[in-house]
Structure 1
Amino acid sequence: METTTKGGTTAGTLLLALSLLAGCGEGGAYDAAMTVPGGDPEAGHFLVRAHGCGACHRIDGVRGPDANVGPPLNALSSQVYIAGVLPNLPENMVRWLMDPPAIDPRTAMPDLGLSEREATDIAAFLYSLEGG
């Protein structure tokens, strides 16, 4: 027997909708302990400073102006998307860092000419941040 709510929605329909919504976060987003295989967060921290990322982004542990050009990069692992276009997964972050305009030609983020190794280390550093 199907139970109906005041608005006429069945309990089964509500359960199905909740199940579908629960699956929206699949793929690693919202994982505070997200790691980047082979990444070195300390090397990434150095690279973030060396490439001047703090000139456009607020990043815990990186000195720079009170930047608002790009989004703050603290608690990045809790974001669902990277730049609003890629599911937030370590491999996507590495791709994004290596050539942002190739993924989103309208982005303000420049291609910094990062190698895969550098992008992997920067991603490892960014995912290690817990601040908000």
Structure 2
Amino acid sequence: MTARTVLLLLPLLIASGCSSDEAEPPPGDPEVGQAAIREYGCGSCHVIPGIGGADGRTGPSLERIARRVYLAGVLPNTPDDMVRWIREPEAVDPRTAMPNMGVGESDARNITAYLYTLK
């Protein structure tokens, strides 16, 4: 592959949100996160694979959320930003319909760990 080809393809690779499945998993316990998702009632607004009854249609489906480039259309999809969004959505986007559910730091990390299994 020539340098010119790489330069031409680079914007496409960046725009496609390429991610590595070999990246370090976010800190947190996915199983505990799954239980926290049920406890906070996230499935009343979102479709969430692996969570029974999580078939809400108010918010977006969280299917394959780990592969998305952005969260809420504005935050880079990183574990820290996902925790921030889960804990204080209105601080990121004052016009969001997502309520502040009072999710603590530990629960947000565990929820993030679970959501990052959704590839």
Interval of TM-score (by shorter of Structure 1 and Structure 2): 0.7 to 0.9
Deviation at 1:17, TM superposition (A): 3.7
What is the TM-score with the length of structure 1 in the denominator?
0.76
Segments of 5+ residues of structure 2 without an aligned counterpart are: none
Residue of 43, 46, 50 corresponding to 1:54: 43
Kindly indicate whether the alpha-carbon contact (under 8 Å) linking 1:31 and 1:78 is maintained by their aligned counterparts in 2: no
Q: Which has the larger radius of gyration?
A: 1
Match of 2:109 among 120, 123, 127: 120
- In the alignment, structure 1 residue 43 sits paired with structure 2 residue 40: no
Aligned length: 116
Distance 1:124 1:23, change over 3 A: same
- Percent identity, aligned pairs only? 46
TM-score for both structures, normalised by structure 2: 0.84
The CA distance in 1 between the partners of 2:88 and 2:22, in whole Å, is 25
* Residue equivalent to 1:22: 13
Distance 2:78 2:92 in 1: 14
Q: CA deviation at 1:60?
A: 1.1
Ranges in structure 1 where 5+ consecutive residues have no aligned partner: 1-10
